[in-house]
Structure 1
Amino acid sequence: VSTDPIRFLDGMYYVNTQVGEDLVTNPEPNSLPEELLLDAEGKPIVLSRSSLAKQGQLLMSGTQMLQLRNNLKTIHDRFKTLYKVEDGDDFAVEIEFKITAGNKLAIKQARPWVFAPPLTLTPEVAVPSNKPTARSTKEGRTVVTKLAPLVPNAAASWSMSGPDKGAFFIWTTPTRRDLYFYPQDYENPEDADGDNVYSIVLTATDPDSGEKTNIDFTMTVVNDADDDSGDLPVVSIRPLPGIVEGGLATFVVSADPAPAGTIAVNVNIGQDGRFLWSSGMVTAWVSTSGRATIGSRTRDDDTDEPDGSVSATLRPGVGYTVSADEGTASVGVADNDGPPDPEVSVTAGSDVTEGGDAQFTVTATPSPTAPLSVSLTVGQEGAFGAITGTQTVTIPTEGSATVAVGTADDDSDEPDGSVSVTVDAGDGYTASATQGTASVGVADNDDPPPAPEVNITASRGGSEGENVTFTLTAAPALTSDLAVLVTVAASGDFGVSTGSQTVTIPAAGSATLTIATTDDDADEPDGSVTLSLNDGDGYTVGSLSTETVSVLDNDDAPLATSEVSVTSGGDVTEGADAQFTVTADPAPSAPLTVNLTVGQEGDYGAATGTQAVTIPAAGSATLTVATTDDDADEPDGSVSVTVDAGDGYSVSATQGAASAVVADNDDPPKTDEEESTGNADVDLGQVEVGRRISYVAPSLRPAGAEDCIVGAGVLWKRVGGQEVVTRSDNGFSLDYSGGLPRLSGRAKLRAAPALYRIEYVCGHPQSWSGSYTIAVEVLGAGMGFDADSLGRRTLYKGQQRTIKPPQLFHAEGAVTYTVSPALPAGLSLDTASGVISGAPTTLQGQATYTVTATDSKTGGAQTAAFDVRLSVVSGMHWSASSMPDMVFEAGERIEIVPPALVNPTTNLRYTYSATHNGVLTMHPYSGRLLASSARPMVKNTYTITAYEDRAYDDRTPQRISITVDVEVQDVHLLGAGQTVSIPAMALPGLSGTITYSLAATPALPGGLSFDSETGAISGTLDAGRTQAKQTYTVTATDADGNTADCRFKIEVRNLVLSGTQSSYSVGAGDPLSISPTRSGGIGAVSYSISPASSELPSGVSFNTETGAISGTPSREFAEKTFTVTATDSANPPQTASYSVSIRVDPSAKAPRVSITAGSAVTEGANASFTVTATP
């Protein structure tokens, strides 16, 4: 559609596509439509994806979407012109299209959308009877008003304001929006004005656009002399004992007296604290026993928090009143989490100078109740003599301790550095995420040595292609490598890499910079390379800071070559010669042959193709290209000449081609618009009443015009000397079955001669029109039907059907009807009305039946007949008679697909119902039952219904159903040795006192027991014992003997680490790999190591996700024992660990190197050292 009816975005087109359709109305079974919005470039906004498309893909390519949008825009613009739609008017065009297997777009039909001005309607209010009525109620009554009819926007959010809003409340659920009005006492009004008229303003807000709709709402309370509200049951609520977080907060709702039938009591669940999984309005179903039990599950978290409570408040409803004294109850919820470990942070003191102590303050928040040992790691940047590594500090109960790290005052000039302290992980505390490390700056106090002076002391040039060199020298001698900044510049084009560079002078004191040049074939002047020293760190630039060397060219000068260009002598008219001048610069010393290509645009008889021209020593030559003078009207064209490559010359880069315009001198022919429109006349003469008119429509297309693709016809009738437009007259109307319109139909009544005119207006591909007149006189005739045949009617076996006859004209007296042959079994003919009705009982192929009407005309009965072709087929039905039971585990994605439909029809929709509240939703176009992550649910019977979502004149829509039992079992993953408590699941349809029983098999895991009063399973599991997943069945029975089963699964796991040795010994430089095998964990498993991973051998690391220790140790490491602990996500978590000792020995591949000093010396003598490698 050439508009956006979904989001109302400007310039967007809406597309709805299905897969594998034979017809637009017959999609592939279980196909969900793909819905798109296309912008002007055919780029989509995806509203919904097809269920049959590949993951992440769309049904159409980008090229197909652009082609579709462009075609629709063309049709839209043509219709807009045809219907004379003004800019700004609401108008759109809808098309039906297919993309064939051959990738061809086929547009089947187009329909215009015309938008009427919006209507302003006064919303109706629905009361419990669901009938529109005045907004009033007797005193003592609860009134429920459905909000959906007021503003039919399912996503709208509702709020209210006004002086009397305390008398109302809004109940919102995923499927309902209801307004409740509390029962009132007429004699004691509580509205703001005291006149028993309660007023509010309802506001509906669209969540996407933010638009608001306000509705003034009033409810008038009238006196009820026979007020029986006191006879309604009074509902109260009381709590059961308090619970620990993670338990079920339970309430008992009682009605006094017990109701005659089950009533729905509205209860609002709230909380003090944060313990509930969900809160809000729930329903308690109070049966004739007078009692119902409801519960709200609390969450067992790891957060230390104050104790709280879960509250339940009765809200007004239909069929009961709320107790004034027992309308609210609360169940205490006790927190089971201890206070958190203190968080340890570290802050730095002031910066120091080398030789001073760096001060740090380590703080625990909150202060510990007993002295707390905290592990620290001391590190440093630079070499300031700090004692680094792991240390321990004890924080007293005051909450903080001071750590001093000493530094050494040496004589070495060095950069400033720092000393850092980091809080490591440990027992009884956590390290601060934001203040877990601190550092103190350490300033160096030694003067730097004198900087060496750098000069360019030598250089060498050469010919192109040879290297040029520069020698840089630093004095005095260096103690380490020195980086010197230089700039390379060049004169000439010899491929020198210029710009800034860095030259490293080793401790020996000099370095040579080599710069390459390129040996090319171009003759060019000699050049040079210049090197300049730049200022930098650690040195000074001497007087010899710049040096230039020569680079000599080694190529001979080239011979001169002429450059050839071409210019045009000017534009011409067809029949004249076009002149071109071809020039060589410099002029050749001898005649030069040049290759050319002659071309043309248009059809002017030019001799095109390759030609040659000879340029004399004078330097230029003229080329003449002749054109032909014809009689054809055609667009202006041109003749061009292009210089081609050849020997002894080059082609000009800027003037290598030229062209001359050739003007046409012929007049254009007359256009189609100048031709006259077509017209004709038809005289039908006299036609009898009830007879169909027939004639051949004349051609209306003017001479030279194309056949019409998009057009419209208009029927005119001459009345009183003037023509008026009519859609039909006396049974006549326009018929387009032959392409152009013609008058068709049966005359209904006798009429004097009438004159009709049929006009046809073509809008595409050309604009033209034509018309013709028809003269006809209708004479009286005998009895006859409006139609000879009702055509084909397909009936469904077993479905009621009614077939009415065509309209009968000019019958006299009573009429009786007969049919031949006999109708299919189950159908009958009403002999007085001619109506065929009934439900066929047997299948039958198509057969033709003739119905004859006979009147009682005086002097001789008249007869008339019509026929109808009937066939009886199987109606819509499921391909399978039943569906198997479906059992899932909690958390699974559920998609239940019903059996395929046999003989499905158009406008098919699905709905469903369930025996009790469930966890599944339905896709209305495929009938699939869905849940993205299913919650536990006892066995629930879902009824899936497929129905035709449309109305028929002669039959009721088809509607068929099938049932499926669905169960979602909770899965309890338990850790061996854990203390667990599994509460009973709330079961539907039970009330009053409930008792529970557990099936005898399988037996519960060792250490667990079952409570038949509460249905809970609790206890401490046997340590080290595991159990595969088993299914258990609990049966609940209420006081009335009603039962319900709940099935769930229990699996016991034991976290175990294996697959490692007790000790590992490798050589330095050899790989180390320790990888444990884990089994029996619940959920995600993390790993920790003690001592910290920072104490592993250098080059070895610890993986917190796998518990592996691996790497290549770089040096010797004394034997040390580490413990790795795995912790899973159970509640409480399971842990398992393994210990391993690691030793790294010296490797034969890496000798141990040591150094010893010789004797002391007096300045001026050499100091000796001995460096030794063993082995």
Structure 2
Amino acid sequence: MKSVQPVPILIVAMMLSTGCLGFLEGEEPIPTPIDCEQNPTHVNCEPGGVTEDDCAFNQIFTGDACRFLLAPRNLYFGVDSLQLVVGIQMQSLTPSFEGDGPENWLVNPRLPSGLVLDQSSGEISGIPTIAVGELRYTIIAVNAAGSTVNTIDILVLPAAPDSFFYSTNLIQCKLGRECGLDEPYVYGGIAETWSADPPLPDGLSLDESGAIFGIAHVLGDSNHTITAGNLGGSVSVDIRIITLHEAPNGLNYPGHPYHWNLGESVQIIPMVGGGEILHWSIEPPLPNGLELVQLDGSIRGTPTELHAIRTHYISASNTGGELTVSILIEVKDVAPVNLLYTPYEFDLTIGDDIGIISPSWMDGTPTNWDISPNLPNGFFFDSTNGQGQISGVATSIQDWSTHQIWANNTGGYTSTIIRIKISSMPPDLIYWTDSVYVLKSNESVGIYATNDGPDIDSWAVSPQLPSGLSLLDNGSIVGTPDTRTAWDEYTIWANNTGGAVGLLLEITVHDIRADQNDLLRDIGMADFGGWPSLILPIGEWSFPIGLDENSNPIVSASHVGKGKILGYGHEGWVATTHDFTMRAIDWVCDGGTDVGLAYGAGFDHYEDELQAAGYTVH
């Protein structure tokens, strides 16, 4: 049996409406145990058992009996405060408590929009939809026996931005010019605050919409993190800002092309637009004495070297870019004068080394050299290093040659001449196998020369060689002598451009048969008035003259060394008036006029005859 008792519910309702909840957390009544032996008529002691319908509103059926409900107490949701974000589902809060479970759950004030309090479990869950400032919420858990409360401070923040995007993450600024980025597109929550880390370069600002604007005042290349946020959170994007100069433009050097003279003062200032120029350069470099001034790109100075007309490229650059123009520059010289080589004449011998001969000149500096005709073999004319030097060693024989040399520059030229003669080394180391030659008439002969020295240009002989002999162009003597000659000394001359040398040879040509015929001409029998002695011919150049009645030689003649000998003998004193004797003396003396007689040999009586014949007797 069950009866309905509405009074306790009415009491709870009255408590909430008046805000008095304190006594609900007080002590609960403790039910009195029923002793069925003493009170057998009590409802709980009625025969047939107890059913759920028998329980009162403040009781709970335990399966075989009804017991009084226990009021809930020590309600707790695990947190004292809660911070939520609009649009983000909160983590559900499940309550804990002691006692029997609440039958009703109440909250005051109403939870933020989107959050709910489950009436059966007391769980708080949901997705907040509206931002709400922090507020304390009281949650009440109630059953028929009583109630318990717990408070939670809840703050609902607005939704944080999810992301945002600029049209580009690179800002390229020109120094002193406006630059920036339009406001970005933001996804998610509304961005209420904007910041940059590190701060933007001087002159640039970040406004409340996230746009970047301003005039860059400093050069630089920097990275910045832009953050958009609100109370619900923030999101960031990295950007890069590069600030450069404005690129140069309109570079011009007035008056180009330039033709300057050595020593001329130069000052050329260019015109250029755009940003500040940080660096000037020129390629190839300016002539010595001229300078490209970094301050303003001007060309200043006094040229000190010649410079053939040439294109030079000048570049003006800054962080914003580079601009290059070309100009033509020529530096001319005054003409050189008084070109001179010392010495200017070279009388040389094969093998002579002249060393290095450098010329002198005045005024302008030559830039190139010419020579005509070319120098002899072995000599070098340096036309490449600007010095015009002559060097070398004489290697080829030649007569005097004249060479004209020009020294040139852009201002003109000067010229001079040099003369060169190259002679051979004087003849030397010439020899024959002997210096004395005895030749036989009508027999061929070769007297060959050896030359271990310089080449010989020509050969000559004095006096003329015996008939039939010739002097060849190598110094050798060949031929067939056909006439007797007395001993003679011949000078063989070897000649070349280095000089001449005379070498001596002694030559005679013998003809024994002719000698014999001369001695026997018109000679018949001779009577020496006594018994003759044999005179035997001995040697290559000996021959018999007179024979006795037995055909034995009693008179013989011979060529000996460079002289002649003729001998005859008899046991008695020979006749002194015979023609033979004088002819013999003529042959032996061979044109000589000095005759010696042996004193006391019995020939004294020949003196008169000899003197009469033109001889000088000793």
Bin for the TM-score computed over the shorter chain: under 0.3
Larger radius of gyration, structure 1 or 2? 2
Instruction: Please report the TM-score for the alignment, with normalisation by the length of structure 1.
Output: 0.16
- Name the structure, 1 or 2, with higher relative contact order (CA <8 Å, separation 6+): 2
Instruction: Please report the TM-score for the alignment, with normalisation by the length of structure 2.
Output: 0.28
Whichever structure has more helix as a proportion of its residues is 2
